[in-house]
Amino acid sequence: MLPREEVELYRRDGYLPGRRLLSPAEAERFRNDCLRTCAKPIELGDQNPYSLKRHASNRVKPYLLFPWAAKLVRYPRILDLVEDVIGPDILVLHTTAWLKPPDSENYVPWHQDATYFGLAPFEHVTAWVALTPSRARAAASASSPASTTKASWRTSTTITIR
């Protein structure tokens, strides 16, 4: 259970600092299943799991297609944290498996998730789950405090975090 201070931090800033919820063995199993089902080698016979061609249709809402992803969105330690901040009435609306190999130039631009979900009011929780080691120098994720309390940004500027 989250301490009251962390729940207040979430309500004020709109996010919580990262924490380890999966064991290394669990993360490896989920990662291997993700690579097996959401990516394929570029060339026939290429067995390098990091030379990937994306399958967009398999990466969006994979919990509807694959048992590993259904298990991940129901993972008790993740749901316990979500419940601590929004209560027990939880619905999974969307997931995306982002494939970013080590030292890749790939990135997800700065954005507000609510812009893409079509929810009003913007009341939702996004749980970013890293299945590989996440380091600050790789800019695995970043948040702007209180940006979730504002309406969708109206700007044509893209801020890229790498």
Domain ranges of the chain: 4-149
Give the global pTM: 0.74
Closest to 109 in 3D by CA, of 153, 157, 40, 159: 159
Residue 95 CB coordination number (10 Å): 18
Element (H, E) at 34: helix 24-38
At 106-116, the pLDDT tens digits run 766 766 666 77
Spell out a b/e string for 22-50, using b for 16 or more CB atoms within 10 Å of the CB, else e: beeeebebbbebbbebbbbeeeeeeeeee
Q: What is the pLDDT of residue 140?
A: 57
CA separation for the pair 49, 10 (Å, rounded) = 36
- Of 64-68, 71-75, 118-122, the one with minimum mean pLDDT is 118-122
- Of 59-63, 66-70, 127-131, 147-151, the one with minimum mean pLDDT is 147-151
